[in-house]
Structure 1
Amino acid sequence: MIRHLSPRTLLVLAAGLVLAAIAAVAGVLLTRGGDKPPKEALPLRQVKEISLPGDSSRFDYASLDPGRGLLFIAHLGASQVIEVDTHADKVVRTIYDLPGVHGVLVVPALHRVYATASDANQVAAIDETTGKVLHRSPTGGTPDGLAYDPVHNRVWTTNESGGSETVVDAGSGAVRGTVPLGGEAGNVAYAPITRQMLVDVQTRNELAVIDPTTLHITRRVPLPGCDHDHGLTLDSADRLAFVACDGNARLLTLDLATWRVTGTDEVGQDPDVLAYDAPARHLYVAAESGWVTTADTHDRHLTVTGRAHLADGAHVVAVDPTTHLSYYPVPHGSGGHPALLVYRPGT
């Protein structure tokens, strides 16, 4: 028998269904990326802790010149770049007046360091030996990551909120062009075999492939299973890209020969900086949650070897391909002050 309900009853039921739907959506949003991935012991052993100057505000990217053993760390909260001699285990100098410094990239062949001053919408060129700022170039909104194109001798900056790439002459600092991405910019990398620039377009969940000669996007690669692709690094020899998706804590392996995603792995919540040790075939993924994921490549396949909490604030990693040491600047070391944690592979 069909029971006819009154208009009031129907209204109450409808309201209940709407509230249930809202609650379900809210639950998804609250838990999205919030669950910790399966923990696996990290195959890392701490060997050093180097004290860093300044306050315990946020650090960001780091870049290493392995030949000279000089590590440059963006201390975003202090608007400084800290230079560390990793051979002598000491701070060499602090480079000031880099407002809201995010990205930092050392180019050993030029003996220069490039740093994005996000609060000033600039990229600065710094003498690697003296620490002197040589020139500053204008960028788009919120410049973040950096990459170097050695063929054209140009530095690329990802303008996160500006949704573009600014291309700057590495020598003179002259702006050579801007590439609109059609979405918010994540990280950028130079692919030496194909001589292309690869850029995360994080609000479109895709990778843009750019011809660095014409400054035109030649391909847009969809990234299924990725929410907000931000981190990016390459295994150039095997023609693989590793993409970190900070919206859903996933790491994608992208085949650069076929432009297809060949693997998806869980990493720590809010993955940020990636580093690849090419000689050892070791990948490091550092996350905002302080979790670090390690993985190895073999036959163009990635296998996770460890996944665990390393330290609060350990969302930045740099690796030395000659010593295989990995470096993590954190706001609070064992003494409660800023420190550079140094790890060696092994248990």
Structure 2
Amino acid sequence: MTASSVRLPFALAACALAAVLAGCAQPATVAQAPAAVAATPAVQRQAFTQGAYELAYSARQNAVYAVFSGGFGATAAPSKVLKLDPATLAVQAEIPLERKGFGVALDDAAGRLYVGNTVDTSVTVVDLASGKAVGLVQLMQKVKTADGKERYSHDLRELVVDAANHRLYVTGHSFEGSVLFVVDTKTLQVVKTVPGLGKTKAPGLVLDAAGSRVFTSNLFGEILVIDTNRLEVVRRIQTEIEQPMNLVYDAPSKRLFATDQGLQMIRSMQEKGAGGFKSVHPGNRVAVVDVESGKLVHSIPTGAGPLALLLDASRNRLYVTERSGGTVSAYDSRSYQRLGTAEVPALPNSLALDARSNTLYVSIKNGEKEPKGSAESVARVRF
């Protein structure tokens, strides 16, 4: 698949993709022997309010932080971050947000949670000790469009913290050219806006701190490598992955894991785009890429619509939200075998992990059968 083969119309694709572009990645740790998986995963679930999106687990605070956008329209609820008890999912605190929150990135050592305000192209900075929003980073100003109105040209998706270098990386989407925003977390100023991520959605983002690089993915099937010292795209890896969404990276083995979602909605838009795109893979898999050679080394079959990934390298486990299937599955990250599956309907979205207690947290969005505007959920899963 070439870059010219899937240049999608902005208005159509932006609306359709908004509902499926969510999830978060977690850093890898030193690998040890895998732990056993429960035959029947234990699932505890609690509904809260509208617009469940991403999660983060803070070991320092011993709490789960869940962001809720509040939904849209006249019946929208206020956007907020909820601090949840990791054992009971009881609400310990509510942190109001002036702008709608979607993605999150945690800097646990600094006691900060960064919340992506997708539709406002900004990031809200939350201080975890005080439980208050303490800063706002405006990543881009509005531009005047052909109809004479002012709009943001880019919306946001993933956020990744580079704590050692006091950086925050944020992907900005636009069919005119997706970018990577680089923020200095000391000054809360944009250091640089890195262009060249492709004139399409660029969903995935993961940091390789030791290698001084970040990886992104785009819907041209590319993996892009950005040097974090030079702050520029230094390599483009054309892959066989048609819908590369979320990414995780295993540094010891130099393997990049990417969900290949396989949604017909996206495939239809790709086929309607210029260049005569033809699908050759149904998706519904996690693709494993050797980043040094750029070759696909394995394809892991998953449930329908895989989206978020989380790598627990200490247990050699890879967790995947199978959004369309209403499930979360655990896979062995070495043998690629499925270890177990938890049912969490309707639409499991993003993941967070308490590695010490081996507890997984899942944000869950409502499906079409739930009443419009009803509360969405967070689940606690023990495999």
Post-superposition offset of 1:263 = 0.6
Q: Which moved more, 1:94-103 or 1:175-184?
A: 94-103
CA distance in 2, matches of 1:123, 1:135: 8
Greater Cα radius of gyration, structure 1 or 2: 1
2:158 matched to 1:145?
yes
Q: What is the SS of the residue equivalent to 1:186?
A: coil
| Alpha-carbon contact 1:189-1:234 (below 8 Å) kept | yes
Q: State the Cα deviation string for residues 156-202 of structure 1 (Å, max 9, x = none).
A: 0111336111111112210000111123211211112312111112x
| Alpha-carbon contact 2:172-2:179 (below 8 Å) kept | yes
Give the corresponding residue for 2:220.
204
2:212 matched to 1:217?
no
Give the corresponding residue for 2:74.
none
| Alpha-carbon contact 2:107-2:163 (below 8 Å) kept | no
1:264-343 alignment, distance < 5 Å: 264-289=299-324, 290-298=326-334, 301-307=335-341, 309-331=343-365, 338-343=376-381
Give the corresponding residue for 2:42.
46
Q: Give me the TM-score of the superposition, normalised by structure 1.
A: 0.78
Segments of 5+ residues of structure 1 without an aligned counterpart are 1-40
Post-superposition offset of 1:89 = 4.0
1:103-122 alignment, distance < 5 Å: 103-122=103-122
1:1-347 alignment, distance < 5 Å: 43-46=39-42, 48-49=44-45, 51-54=46-49, 57-76=50-69, 77=71, 78=77, 79-87=79-87, 89-139=89-139, 141-161=154-174, 163-180=178-195, 181-183=197-199, 184-201=201-218, 203-224=219-240, 226-247=241-262, 248-289=283-324, 290-298=326-334, 301-307=335-341, 309-331=343-365, 338-345=376-383
| Alpha-carbon contact 1:326-1:342 (below 8 Å) kept | yes
Q: State the Cα deviation string for residues 27-60 of structure 1 (Å, max 9, x = none).
A: xxxxxxxxxxxxxx985521533x3532xx3321
- Give me the identity figure in percent: 22
Aligned-residue CA RMSD in angstroms?
Answer: 2.3
Q: Which amino acid aligns with 1:340?
A: V
Q: Give me the TM-score of the superposition, normalised by structure 2.
A: 0.71
| Alpha-carbon contact 1:199-1:209 (below 8 Å) kept | yes
Give the corresponding residue for 2:369.
none
Give the corresponding residue for 1:38.
none
Residues matched between the structures, number: 295
| Alpha-carbon contact 1:72-1:104 (below 8 Å) kept | no
| Alpha-carbon contact 1:229-1:245 (below 8 Å) kept | yes
Q: Indicate how the Cα distance of structure 1 residues 43 and 68 shifts in structure 2: closer, same or farther if over 3 A, else same.
A: farther
| Alpha-carbon contact 1:281-1:296 (below 8 Å) kept | yes
| Alpha-carbon contact 1:102-1:145 (below 8 Å) kept | no
Post-superposition offset of 1:98 = 4.9
Q: Which runs of 4+ in 1 moved over 6 A?
A: none
Q: Which amino acid aligns with 1:273?
A: A
Post-superposition offset of 1:146 = 0.8
Q: What is the SS of the residue equivalent to 1:119?
A: helix
Post-superposition offset of 1:218 = 0.9
